Amino acid sequence: MNQPTHAWLAVEAFRTIQRCSTTDAGKQHQLDKLAALLGQHLNDVVVAAWLPDALIKDMTYGHVFKTSKYDGSDGTRFIVSRADLKKGLAPAAFERERYLDKLPDSWWAAPYRVKDNGGHLPTRVTSLCQNARDMLKMGDTDLYGQCGVTIPAGHAAIADDLLCSSRDVAVMMWMTSHYVADAHMPFHCDNRNLASTSSVKNAHSKIEELWGAQVPVLLQAKSIGAATSDQILAAPLPDKSNFAGFSSANEIPPLKSGGDPWKEAVNICRASFALSFSLVPPEVAPVDDPSSSIPVSTRRSLASPPSTVIGSCAFPRSLPGSTSRRRDIRLRPWG
């Protein structure tokens, strides 16, 4: 995804945190304090959520988890059934009953594995989640005051200039949102040629370009440092944006897999891989087919429908069918 889309997804994730902070579960987990911390630094979101691309530049390995068929001798290790994958996903993830069920049983019976040098996106998610948590513990007195918690023993031994501010923590969380969003993007987890960005004319880049043009104009700027939190949240979508009618989640479910963000991210990436085949089935683009691609008209249709938030990411809620002129095979509709 491009810079405007990552910023918009981070803003929508913040909006979800803010809304859920008033629920019983939100009060129990003190989401109001997290919302207050992030809200005062919402104007950093355009720059901070794009730092992984603009500054860190780990796109070829940190933003992807390229999965493909596995031909080794121990293939049963790499078979993940539809039922088992659903158990590892949050209830609303990928509206799983609709999209994961589109794939035939034969697809789920095959072994798939991340390619060598296919990236380590889940590891990036884990490391940044842990960094943000550690930074909260190493916060300055103002940060502890905002969080409303007692400063722990050992804190006094840390020099003031080594402590983290609320802005430091917010920037780390906006950065984390980038990798979480990428885990939800099907083409970041699919090793097929159609998901590659190495060529100029490719479905992956074109779809992300079209998504970026449909978010609020305010978020399409390189920086919005002068904007207030209220202005950012009130920024309208462009006319005829297909994200109109967008609705974010009504709850923030706890992590599955015992609260392990690495396992959570691995399951999300595996579901994204499956979702890519639900969108563009193997009859159109076989696994690892180096010559397969998607027609331009189909790229536009993939980028056009309204969306729904999945975790901190958004994908279309309904996808009109589209016919491939190259093979005369109808792509499976999203809805």
Domain containing 205 — which CATH number? Answer: 1.10.575
Per DSSP, the three-state class of 113 is strand
- Residue 314, beta-bridge partner list: 309
Position 330 in a domain: no
- Residue 330, beta-bridge partner list: 323
- Residue 305 falls in which region: left (phi positive, over 0), alpha (psi -120 to 50) or beta: beta
pLDDT in tens, 79-136: 999 999 988 887 765 555 578 888 999 999 999 999 888 999 999 999 999 999 899 8
Position 335 in a domain: no
Position 226 in a domain: yes
Q: What is the pLDDT of residue 335?
A: 27
When pLDDT is cut at 50, 70 and 90, the band that residue 328 belongs to is very low
Q: In the chain, pLDDT over 90 holds for what percent of residues?
A: 45
| pLDDT of 299 over the 80 cut | no
Position 329 in a domain: no
Q: Report residue 237: phi and psi, to 5°.
A: -75, 155
What is d(CA 246, CA 167) in angstroms, rounded to the nearest whole number? 29
Q: What is the pLDDT of residue 283?
A: 82
Q: What is the pLDDT of residue 145?
A: 82
| pLDDT of 142 over the 90 cut | no
Position 326 in a domain: no
Average pLDDT of span 295-300: 50
What is d(CA 118, CA 68) in angstroms, rounded to the nearest whole number? 9
CB 307 within 8 A of CB 243: yes
| pLDDT of 212 over the 70 cut | yes
Position 49 in a domain: yes
* Domain of residue 80, residue span: 3-316
Position 248 in a domain: yes
| pLDDT of 247 over the 80 cut | no
Based on the structure, what is the number of domains in the chain? 1
Position 328 in a domain: no
Q: What is the pLDDT of residue 75?
A: 87
Q: Return the minimum-mean-pLDDT range out of 116-120, 240-244, 247-251.
A: 247-251
Q: Which of 194, 134, 186, 121 is nearest to 163 (CA)?
A: 134
How far, in whole angstroms, is CA 219 from its chain's centroid?
17
